[in-house]
Amino acid sequence: MSKFYKRFEAQIVTIVLILIGVFLYIKVAGPIPFFINSVQTTKTDLFSSDGEGTVTAAPDTAEINLGVTQTGATVSDAQSKANSTANKIIAGLKKLGILEKDVKTTNYSISPNYQSADINGPFLPTRGGGITGYTVTQNLQIKVTPIDKVNNVIDSATAAGANLVGGVNFTFSDNLQNNLENEAMQQAVNNAKQRAQNLASASGINLGRIVNVVQSSNNPRPITFGGPAVANSTVQEAAPPTDVTPGQNTVTVDVVLYYETY
């Protein structure tokens, strides 16, 4: 131990003196300040490139708007007729496998019917026309999936007494919509990257990392088939089966990529 001490005596004494000096300095002047320089750089000149992705597919969901309108001498009479028909329509839908949660009443209205006092002109209340009865209207919105049931739903409803058919909208279910948007988004990103590489190569710009992405989606507009009101008559000619076809819808996604350049 003594040999080791003698060999490094000078170094040990120097270290001890430095430590004592630091200790005394801290006691008198406080902690020793340390300075760290932080430099941040922000590039404001970014290179942008846009791309589009488009995916087309057959809809898997339909919404049918139909209903019933009935008249009666009294409110209760008109309601009874309309409610009876609506119940028959819903019962027929259930037989086709339509769930109760997929049948929604979108309108239920009661309105009086007036008799014009002047048969040669339009009715005006001040001319003395009276109430001759009441009309009750109930509209239903039916969600149909799979869509191969659409024609059967319309035929079943009209056979049960539905005399209002407002239209059929063909759309995508949430799951299919998400899958199609993801596919279109990937196409759009690939398209934007390819365009960025082509533009940068042609202009002599070196692209860095992607620092921002902006996306916009164009949801498909529903394909709508309108239908005339079915005549409310006890005697009707036999009609051919309904033949409504869904066609295809398109999902489009647009993206803009922002690159750093160097």
Range(s) of the domain holding residue 154: 60-172+223-243
- pLDDT tens digits for 110-123? 999 998 655 555 55
Burial of 174 (0-12, 13-18, 19+ CB in 10 A): exposed
Please, are residues 103 and 66 in contact by the beta-carbon 8 Å criterion?
no
Distance between CA atoms of residues 85 and 163, nearest Å: 10
Considering the domain boundaries, does residue 49 fall inside one?
Answer: no
Closest among 176, 156, 187, 181 to 246, alpha carbons compared: 176
Please, are residues 177 and 100 in contact by the beta-carbon 8 Å criterion?
no
The mean of the pLDDT values for the chain is 82
- pLDDT tens digits for 147-179? 999 999 999 999 999 999 988 999 999 999 999
Amino acid letter, residue 117: A
Question: b/e for 101-120, b at 16 or more Cβ within 10 A?
Answer: eebeeeeeeeeeeeeeeeee
pLDDT for the residue numbered 237? 53
Q: What is the mean pLDDT of residues 29-53?
A: 64
- pLDDT tens digits for 90-147? 999 999 999 999 999 999 999 999 986 555 555 555 444 589 999 999 999 999 999 9
Distances in Å between the Cα of 215 and the Cα atoms of 78, 173, 251 are 52, 21, 13
Burial of 98 (0-12, 13-18, 19+ CB in 10 A): buried
Q: Most distant CA pair in the chain: distance in Å?
A: 135
pLDDT for the residue numbered 23? 66
Distance between CA atoms of residues 73 and 134, nearest Å: 6
* DSSP classification of residue 240: P
Q: Is the pTM of this model over 0.85?
A: no
Closest among 126, 157, 162 to 144, alpha carbons compared: 157
> Based on the structure, what is the number of domains in the chain?
1
Distance between CA atoms of residues 155 and 238, nearest Å: 12
Burial of 210 (0-12, 13-18, 19+ CB in 10 A): middle
Which domain CATH number covers 157?
A: 3.30.70.2970
Considering the domain boundaries, does residue 85 fall inside one?
Answer: yes
Distance between CA atoms of residues 149 and 159, nearest Å: 15
Considering the domain boundaries, does residue 75 fall inside one?
Answer: yes
Give the H/E segment covering residue 157.
helix 150-159
Considering the domain boundaries, does residue 68 fall inside one?
Answer: yes
Considering the domain boundaries, does residue 32 fall inside one?
Answer: no
Is the pLDDT confidence value at 48 over 70?
yes
